[in-house]
A and B are shown apart, each in its own frame.
Chain A
Amino acid sequence: MSKPFLSVERLSQTFPDGAGGTLTVFENASFGIEKGEFVCILGHSGCGKSTIMNVLAGLAEPSAGVVKMDGVAVSGPSLDRGVVFQNYSLLPWLSALKNVTFGVKARYRDWSREKVVEHATQYLAMVGLEGDVIHRKPSQLSGGMRQRVSIARAFANQPKLLLLDEPFGALDALTRGTIQEELLKIWSQTEQTVFMITHDIDEAILLADRILLMTNGPFARIAESVEITIPRPRRRTEIVEHPNYYAIRNHLVQFLGKRSKELAGRASGGESQSPESVRIDLTAPTDDPEPAPQKPVLHAVNG
């Protein structure tokens, strides 16, 4: 089997625990992402999702392990790995357009001014920002618009890998829904490889090709890789009708509610830990040797 486009190999992160010992956030985590894939990672707070993200972005150094992209080990931040931060991280003294051209200029240093502006305007339009609005400062934009600018800035740079760190965490539910669709639209137009952190199960199902499930920390691990067997293009109003939707959702809820705790806190014992692949597809039971684990009913998430 050939190596995936992005391959994370035996990644470990430990911090001093303040009492002379060490705290292992995760150990020997291994997973891969294929080119053009949209992968979400789900897990409770404190399980190290953001740490993995920071390592992929090159903003933090792992204690051990490597990240390889296209077969080359990466270190340090790079324009090949774009990041959308949770708090937008727009530069407040620049207009929306200037925030995007800031990125484009850094990426394509030999482009003319006009070309940079044209490229930036095009990507802003792709997330629904057009006209006067793009000349406003971030403080004059709503939270949703700011995150759109941030998404446009990341996509405009056409990175090989796009990292989204809970991009919709600070938005209200309605705005979140709209921007999720904007994100799907721009993603389908660009065939970008995306790795995204989220807390929101429905959001993950709507957006992802595959969801990585993380157990609780310390000694967190990526336990499962759940394939989302719902065809694209997806709409939030339509996917809930799909027979696989609740089966997948229940599986995720059960994991986060119960199994993430049960599986937590086990040292790897030096083994490389790859997630177990899970495929739930009620539409083609003959192709699926594994029976669907739950009936499509709602389960409450326990604390």
Chain B
Amino acid sequence: MQMLSVNKRAALLSVVLLIVALGAWEISVTRQVMGEALTEYEILMGLGQPRAAVPPPSDVLVKAWEQLSNPFYDNGPNDKGIGIQLAYSLYRVLSGFAMAAALAIPLGFLIGMSPVAYKALNPFIQVLRPISPLAWMPLALFIIQDSEASAIFVIFICSVWPMLLNTAFGVAGVRSDWVNVARTHELGSLRTALTVILPAAAPTILTGMRISIGIAWLVIVAAEMLVGGTGIGYYVWNEWNNLDLTSVIFSILMIGLVGMVLDTIFATLQRAVTYAE
């Protein structure tokens, strides 16, 4: 028999694992409902009511179909389509991330090129970096006085550190030979930064951006559970309050899918700027 390629075998195995896992889930959930015939006493005691249970994957699939066929409906503050909720979350993540990049990349360049700046700023970075981004939330709410902007600030503060440190690390690690090439060609500081240091450090910088966007997407869910109103994090919490576990599971899957797409985009960018020495 002709062996399938590694990719095909892996894909086949993935599908098998998915079917087995979903099947096991489906069976384990539905079996609970079917019991022996209940006595009258048991029915009176309320045991005849269907027990609240984790919904089976078939229900989740039905929910997903229903939601994804009309993702952008808007029936008021407590009932918006999954597309609208995800769009809110993405908007917050991307604006916080963009602001963080606008600060972290130039500052990272400075820290990477100047040992003095590195030594002066390092203590602050080391203290601020391990703070859970959500710990900033009360302070942000008090100072900014706006829950929307506070959520964006939390995203900003959590995505700034990996980008800052990676940019500094990448810039400091540019081979001195390449800098000497720029010097012997009489390039000015700005041209050296743009034509030699930036492309040389770009793979490291993109790694930092990829880590940052991943963290930002993790944090936005928690942040939106706190600030409420809109977004995928709010949606999860709202459906939990509605005891709609089908929607909760569906939105968990959507969070994973969107996170994967974001990571794939940055992985592609990273590959585009990576060079072999």
Contacts and interface: CB of A to CB of B under 8 A. Distances in A.
Nearest to A157: B185
Contacts of A187: none
A83 interface: yes
Give the size range of A's interface with the partner: 20 to 34
B275 A102 contact: no
A59 B195 CA distance: 19
A89 B181 contact: yes
Contacts of B180: 59, 77, 83, 85, 89
A94 to B, nearest CB: 8
B185 A103 contact: yes
Contacts of A87: 177
B196 A91 contact: yes
Interface in B237-276: 273, 275-276
Contacts of A103: 185
A92 interface: yes
A58 B187 CA distance: 14
A15 interface: no
Task: Output the residue of A79, A87, A92 with the most chain B CB within 10 A.
Answer: A92
Contacts of A92: 275-277
Interface in B167-215: 177-178, 180-181, 183-187, 195-196, 199-200, 202
Interface string A132-156: 0000011100000000000000000
B277 A91 contact: no
Given A83-B180, A89-B181, A106 B186 contact: yes
A103 B195 CA distance: 12
A10 interface: no
B184 A93 contact: no
A89 to B, nearest CB: 4
Contacts of B196: 91
Contacts, number: 54
B275 A93 contact: yes
Contacts of A139: 275-277
A57 B184 contact: yes
Contacts of B185: 79, 102-103, 106-107, 157
Interface residues of B, number: 18
Task: Output the residue of A77, A82, A85 with the most chain B CB within 10 A.
Answer: A77
Interface string A94-117: 000000001100110000000000
A49 interface: no
A78 B183 CA distance: 8
A160 interface: no
B177 A89 contact: yes
Given A91-B199, A93-B199, A59 B184 contact: yes
A210 interface: no
A79 B275 contact: no
B206 to A, nearest CB: 13
Nearest to A59: B180
B195 to A, nearest CB: 7
B178 A91 contact: yes
B276 A81 contact: no
Nearest to B180: A59
Contacts of A85: 177, 180-181
Nearest to A94: B199
Contacts of B177: 85, 87, 89
B185 to A, nearest CB: 4
A8 to B, nearest CB: 18
Contacts of B276: 92, 137, 139
Contact of A106 (B178, B187, B200, B202): B187
Contacts of B275: 92-93, 137, 139
Given A92-B276, A92-B277, A139-B276, A77 B178 contact: no
A93 B178 CA distance: 11
Nearest to A84: B184
A281 B53 CA distance: 103
B171 to A, nearest CB: 15
B174 to A, nearest CB: 11
B184 A102 contact: no
Contacts of B183: 58-59, 77
A137 B195 CA distance: 16
Given A92-B277, A139-B275, A83 B184 contact: yes
Interface in A154-170: 157
Q: What 9 A-B pairs are tightest by C-beta distance, nearest first? A: A139-B276, A106-B185, A93-B275, A89-B177, A77-B183, A92-B275, A77-B184, A93-B199, A83-B184
14 contacts: A59-B183, A77-B186, A78-B186, A83-B180, A87-B177, A89-B177, A89-B178, A91-B199, A92-B275, A92-B276, A93-B199, A102-B195, A106-B185, A157-B185
Interface of B: 177-178, 180-181, 183-187, 195-196, 199-200, 202, 273, 275-277
Interface of A: 57-59, 77-79, 81-83, 85, 87, 89, 91-93, 102-103, 106-107, 137-139, 157
Given A93-B200, A106-B187, A138-B277, 8 more contacts: A58-B183, A59-B180, A83-B180, A85-B181, A89-B181, A91-B178, A93-B199, A139-B276
